Structure 1
Amino acid sequence: MELQDLKIAGISIAPGVEKQIDAQIAKLPSRTPIDIPIIVSRSKKPGPTLLITGGMHGDEINGIEIVRRVITNNYHRPLIGTVICIPILNVYGFIHFSRQTVGGKDMNRSFPGTRNGSLASQLAYRLTQDILPLIDYGIDFHTGGARINNYPQVRANLDEPKNMELVQAFSPKFMIHSPFREKSFRKEAAKKGTPILVYEGGESLRLRKHAIDVGINGLLRVMKHLKMRDEAPVSKGESYFIKKSSWLRAKSAGIYHSFFRTGEYVEKGTVVGLITGPYGEFEHKMKAHISGYAIAINNNPVVNRGDALIHIGIPD
């Protein structure tokens, strides 16, 4: 079967070619153009097309670093098929240290987008129209927001066989069943039958080596599963399916002192931390309300009543 050229943003990429496409999305008020670099690497042999993205939220640096290292180490060059890498989807958020785009809009709540809507909507529209029809699979790399530190985990609708197949190939410690969120990229892709895995690891505006390494190694295992690579690191340790989870929330305002790290097992009734008054007037013990694994922890010590403190996942 003769392979056809791939076209993105009006630029053709022939089989066996690697090319960077600088897709112009908008201009700053200074008239400085804002481009999104898209790195496309194609094999001469037919195979699937895999999309690898980071920076959907501009302050989630671990995901950006994962895609950067994939490109730097030439992991994106497939034996078969095509790999499309977009390290930073939300350039505006990246340069402003922000989760959102201009106007406070969340790009991952703006799909399928519109041609003339908000900037977030326009970005979502371009991804939906120009990239989504070309791909067979995708992995979208994210990081915990608002000082939430996520233990490396993969989220997907585990009721879908294609998703389950990819999640098991990725082989993280935690495989989390996650229903679709309205207007998200993952849900829009699912409408077209395209499985997208969401990887979460670490916290915003902070590089964490463990989260980056786990993300890269999992991606390489997925590529090997798709026959796009010959080799991939062997997964170490057990994996747990998480279908139910619950946040332990602060019972009072104050300063929170956590006694647990992400990834650790928590028994119901265990004291997981203290909330103290800033003037020494009280200390409140926070006890786990269920047993399970700490899949995320709030690293912001200043809390209000009702704030999320520790996310406990119940293994299935």
Structure 2
Amino acid sequence: MPQHRTITILDEEIKPGESKTINMEIARLYTMTKLKIPIIVERSKIDGPVVLFSAGMHGDEINGMEIVRQLIVRHINKPKIGTIICIPVINVFGFVNKSREFPDGRDLNRVFPGSRNGSLASRFAYYILKEVIPNVDYCIDFHAGGASRFNAPQIRIVPGNEELKKLSDVFNAPFTLYSKNINGSFRNSCDRLGVKMLLFEGGKSLDINDDITQHGVRGAKRFLAHFGMLDDSKKVPVAERPSIYINDSTWIRARHSGLFQNKTMAGEFVKKGEVIACITDPFGKFEKKVKAPNTGYIINSNDSPIVYQGDAIFHISQRMV
């Protein structure tokens, strides 16, 4: 029997078979009010992998928080073997303000690996990598689309990594997008530290969509079952079809400003030349059709009723494998 590793977060040790919630307190509001970030740890008595489910890197991406919340409330986070760590809300400051950014105006997902003595966001990034990630083998980080743009449920992985490809197959989101790591991102830092991460995108900011939530929960259950971590009382969901892998995609941008009449939902398959939306003025002077530039899947759709010229209104796949 392999020896259990020691799991210590913020000087608190979590022993095999133990459940513990550790409150991460790094800073306060300017009112001196403490803000706690709960880190919920569940350890089995049987040794195994350590999986992190995280959400709320951007404070307005609530759908990801709901996915992790359901993993907790449905006791999916109680592992048969190994350890499951849940952080439902990383950017609690942004969550309180219904904002994507930290109070210092920075995007937390662009300041990793952070600095102990840097900006507020940078300090949070530093402590997440220092205190949590050294314990983790695998991570699924849940996100949503910003600025009223609705993402079809998808996993994002770097191209050329066969292990991540296999894990994405296991999770089996409707779509998988190949995308390079971005400097300063949580995903990039985890990759450098040897943590295998799947980044889930689904839904839009300041919204909870049950279909997106269930895609995330089902994928997480399949992921845990793959490692033998899912409790026997939990049923492993059967995927409807294999994930559609997308190598290339492009943004369709509005050619006119006006009222946006969206006719196409995220996830739909469209053909080249098909009318997928209309842009009109509020005075009945013009109506401009928006046509699909190529055949493919709409993987992101703008839900805003008003757009400006140049706004991203659809994200469409170009090359699939």
Q: Normalised by the size of structure 2, how large is the TM-score?
A: 0.96
Structure 2 residue identity aligned to 1:134: N
Deviation at 1:17, TM superposition (A): 0.4
Q: How many positions carry a matched residue from both structures? A: 316
CA deviations 1:179-204 (Å, max 9, x no partner) are 11111010111112211111011111
Find the counterpart in structure 1 of residue 148 from structure 2: 147
State yes or no: 1:241 paired with 2:245: yes
Find the counterpart in structure 1 of residue 221 from structure 2: 220
Deviation at 1:206, TM superposition (A): 0.9
Is the deviation greater in 208-217 or in 284-293?
284-293
Find the counterpart in structure 1 of residue 192 from structure 2: 191
Find the counterpart in structure 2 of residue 181 from structure 1: 182
CA deviations 1:12-61 (Å, max 9, x no partner) are 11001010001112111121111110000001111110010010001111
DSSP 3-state at the match of 1:153: strand
Structure 2 residue identity aligned to 1:269: G
Q: Normalised by the size of structure 1, how large is the TM-score?
A: 0.98
Find the counterpart in structure 1 of residue 160 from structure 2: 159
DSSP 3-state at the match of 2:35: strand
Residue pair 2:296, 2:317 contacting (<8 A) in 1 also? yes
Structure 1 residue runs of 4+, over 4 Å off?
Answer: none
Residue pair 1:152, 1:201 contacting (<8 A) in 2 also? yes
2:294 to 290, 296, 301: 290
For the aligned residues, what is the CA RMSD? 1.0
5 Å matches for 1:74-85? 74-85=75-86
Distance (whole Å) between structure 2 residues aligned to residue 56 and residue 206 of structure 1:
15
Find the counterpart in structure 1 of residue 87 from structure 2: 86
Identity fraction in percent = 42
5 Å matches for 1:1-316? 1-229=2-230, 230=232, 231-314=235-318, 315-316=320-321
Deviation at 1:238, TM superposition (A): 4.0
Residue pair 1:4, 1:14 contacting (<8 A) in 2 also? no
Q: Which runs of 5+ in 2 are unaligned?
A: none
Residue pair 2:169, 2:242 contacting (<8 A) in 1 also? no
Residue pair 2:267, 2:298 contacting (<8 A) in 1 also? yes
